[in-house]
Amino acid sequence: MVLSLLVGMILGAAGALLSYGPQLIHSLYEPYAYVLFVVIVGRTAAGFGWAALTSALASFGPLIALLAATIFESGANLLNFTARGPGMVLGSNGPTVNLTVATLATFGVLAYFSGRRDVWGDLASGALVGIVAIDGLDKTLRGGPEYVRGFWPWDTLLVAVFVIGLLLALRRGRSLSRCAVVALTVLSAAFVFAIGM
């Protein structure tokens, strides 16, 4: 438990430092380093309760480090979790940060269930891969809410490699196709929802 919190804090500190570097590297590091870490923590948990607890701690670790880093930002506004300097932006308000932590912790729980070798494991793996792909598309495609400019098509290719690698790491054999169908269904549902808004 303590190790997941400490490693999360180290990853968050590294993310704070990378926020001053090239935008492409920072946009690939955040949130994918955190996602990968939470998936590893959730997948290796001994049980459901441990997966939920350690995933939540692993999600809080980067948040604590990033909040500490905002204290040193010029023009920082800690109560709104924003910084007006060249560095990181955690979110516009408290509920956004809470949603981010809840989403990351959910990734860990889904990763725990992806260890099952039945249909439920395929559903959990597909949902996890689909949600990660949705976040990647938000960053890489024009019009996405978190679009990073100036790096097309390399950022899209890197996110696609990450998503495919995550899919292959979670599933093998015939269950791989079921997992891919679930991931495509999640992506399609998100696309229909975005078009309908």
Residues composing the chain: 197
42 residue type, one letter: G
Residue 119, judged by CB atoms within 10 A of its CB (0-12, 13-18, 19+), counts as exposed
More confident residue, 191 or 73: 191
Cβ-based neighbours of 120, under 8 Å, separated by 6 or more: 113
| Residue 29 tokens, joined | 């590091």
Residue 130 in tokens: 């689909």
Confidence tier at 84 by pLDDT (50, 70, 90): very low
Select the more confidently predicted residue: 42 or 134.
42
Q: Side-chain half-sphere of 90: how many Cα atoms within 13 Å?
A: 30
Least confident of 34-38, 90-94, 105-109, 121-125: 90-94
Average pLDDT over residues 8-29: 84
Rounded to an integer, the average pLDDT of 114-132 is: 91
Residue range 170-180: mean pLDDT, rounded? 87
Provide the percentage of residues in the chain whose pLDDT is more than 70. 81
CA dist 110 and 9 (Å) reads 22
**Where residue 79 falls among pLDDT bands split at 50, 70, 90?**
very low
Average pLDDT over residues 90-95: 58
CA distance 60 to 6: 10
Quick: pLDDT tens for 20-77.
888 777 777 877 888 899 999 999 999 999 999 999 999 888 888 888 877 766 555 4
- Residue 195, class by beta-carbon neighbours within 10 Å (0-12 exposed, 13-18 middle, 19+ buried)? exposed
pLDDT of residue 92 exceeding 60, the answer is no
**What is the chain's mean pLDDT, rounded?**
80
Whole-prediction pTM: 0.78
Q: Do the Cβ atoms of 60 and 101 come closer than 8 Å?
A: yes
The H-assigned helical ranges of the chain are: 2-18, 23-29, 32-43, 48-70, 94-113, 119-140, 154-170, 174-196
